[in-house]
Amino acid sequence: MPLDQIQNHISSGANEQLAVALKQSPEKARLTTSMGVSLVTFAAYYRNLEAIRTIRAYLDDVTIHEACCIGELETVKEQLHKAPEVLNSFSADGFTPLGLACFFGHVNLAAYLIETGADANIAANNDFRVAPIHSACAISSVPIVNLLIAAGANVNLSQQKGIRPIHSASHNGSLEIVRILIAAGADHKIADESGKTPTDYALEKNYDELVAYLKTLS
């Protein structure tokens, strides 16, 4: 079965077909996708938990980045014991272990990486330039946002197109995270490269309570 067909099974949720394909050709579980990432990472990006389990069953081991995508804390501990230097390394598509743990919402894993010394302000070395704080805000994870701020994350750090964490939080309507960011020093009036402020993002989605709160700060 061609790789693109296996990817389609994963992205479309055709998990029974995926299971059949890998049973017939187990070696394909180790293929790299057209995105330059492994199949298990690809499945994680599509939040396809069943596909992750199916693929993982054919893998003897995974990299620290893959482990951070799928939330394998013990694997991450083992990897760092063997090679501590990979703590702040970049994945094939440009993200750090902490950045991936944050994006996929693995709170305990993110906490462990921070305790181990992961740098909360290292952005992806790709065009997105996403730092862990951006990922945490993108998925509206209050616990991870708090962890990162406690670890010294820059709440005004810019990613692609001048988007700050508070822009993402406002776009998602997360009043709690917006409050947390502002308490940590986020600029509530800052505009992205298109000129949109956090209030503009909130207005677009009709987040009335958030808009009202931001206007009290003006």
What mean pLDDT, rounded, does the chain reach? Answer: 97
Integer Cα distance of 213 and 22 in angstroms: 52
Residue 71 has pLDDT above 90, yes or no: yes
Residue 218 has pLDDT above 80, yes or no: no
Q: Tens digits of per-residue pLDDT, 2-39?
A: 899 999 999 999 999 999 999 999 999 999 998 889 99
- pLDDT attached to residue 108: 98
Give the model's confidence band at 95: pLDDT under 50 very low, under 70 low, under 90 confident, else very high: very high
DSSP 157-215: ---GGG--HHHHHHHHT-HHHHHHHHHTT--TT---TTS--HHHHHHHTT-HHHHHHHH
Whole-angstrom CA distances from 196 to 46, 83, 108 are: 29, 43, 34
- pLDDT attached to residue 124: 98
Q: Tens digits of per-residue pLDDT, 129-138?
A: 999 999 999 9
Distance separating the N- and C-terminal Cα atoms of the chain: 58
Joined together, the tokens standing for residue 167 give 């822009």
- pLDDT attached to residue 217: 94
Give the model's confidence band at 1: pLDDT under 50 very low, under 70 low, under 90 confident, else very high: confident
**pTM > 0.85:** yes
3, 42 in Cβ contact below 8 A? no
Rounding to the nearest 10 degrees, give the CA dihedral for residues 94, 18, 102, 80.
-70
105 torsion bin: left (phi>0), alpha (psi -120 to 50), beta (else): left
Q: Tens digits of per-residue pLDDT, 33-64?
A: 988 899 999 999 999 999 999 999 999 999 99
